[in-house]
Structure 1
Amino acid sequence: MKKVVGLIVMLVFIQQFSFAQKESINWHSFEEVIEKTAANPKMILVDVYTDWCGWCKKMDRNTFTDPKVIEYVNNNFYAVKLNAENKKKKFEFKGKEYSEQSMARNMRVRSFPNFIIMDASMENITQLPGYREPENFVSALKSLLENFDH
């Protein structure tokens, strides 16, 4: 019996360890991306979400865990999570102070989830509103980058 319990414990540990090693999108704060873009210009993907948004949670669970999405986003964008209802977290952007909530309003986000694409100079290019399956999300991002004149 001790051997069986030991084996089960070991299998659970191995499963936990392999799960922890799973790739994920490199999410940054808005402040981090301001610094990163200044040092190494790159497009920015801002995931504007709320805690109560079911479709936002589904994006996190289904789309943002897909290996193709992870690879494409990490290779082509700095990714930011922005809580559209957070009034407490403040940062400076282009000489003004914003909360995550006021930044979402400034970006004219009215529905969730919503994805703001910014160029390397941190200017908004477009919005991609609504839940998207992994393949659709990657193809929308690819199409946008192909049509964007860097």
Structure 2
Amino acid sequence: MIKISMVLLFCFFNLSALEWHTYKDALKLQEKSSKVIMIDVIRTECQYCIKMDKNVFYNEEMSQWLEERFIPVKINLDNEEMPLDVEVKMTPTFYFLDKNNNIVKTIPGSWNIEDFKDLTKNIKGE
């Protein structure tokens, strides 16, 4: 019974969570849209990264809002290399890329929904 409850809970969170893409897939998706790529750079044990996932990216309304504007990519530095030639100084750090693979904005740190929405609402890739 506990296993069933855990599976249902996991499915619930996945339904409302942001859909993350690989960087390679995001580049292909960006060719077909005018969306900016949003890269969330994390580390596995980073408590601020976990907090962002839990408090921002698992929020259904915020997830929809972000997916309308961006192609979300998550890079875990513990087992992946950063695809850009940048030195990541802290996690989480968010990089926003236009169609030419230029960083149009960098946002370091962990935020609540309102602040992250405010920081990202005017990001354009054109």
What TM bracket, shorter-length normalisation?
Answer: 0.7 to 0.9
Bigger CA drift: 17-26 or 127-136?
17-26
1:68, 1:134 within 8 Å by CA — same for their partners in 2?
A: no
Alignment-mate amino acid for residue 117 of structure 1:
F
CA displacement 1:70-119 (0-9 Å, x = unmatched): 12111000000001232xxxxxxxxxxxxx32436x22321011100111
Aligned-residue sequence identity (percent) comes to 24
CA RMSD for the aligned pairs? 2.4
Distance across 2 between alignment mates of 1:121 and 1:31: 14
Indicate the structure with greater helix content: 1
1:41, 1:121 within 8 Å by CA — same for their partners in 2?
A: no
Q: CA deviation at 1:35?
A: 1.1
Query: Larger relative contact order (C-alpha < 8 A, sep ≥ 6)?
Result: 2
**Correspondence for 2:101:** 122
Count residues with an aligned counterpart: 122
Bigger CA drift: 44-53 or 65-74?
65-74
Which structure 1 residue ranges, 5 or more long, are not aligned?
1-8, 87-99
* TM-score normalised over the length of structure 1: 0.70
Q: Secondary structure at the match of 1:28?
A: coil
- The 4+ residue runs of structure 1 with deviation greater than 3 A are none
Q: Which residue of 47, 54, 60 corresponds with 2:47?
A: 54
* TM-score normalised over the length of structure 2: 0.82
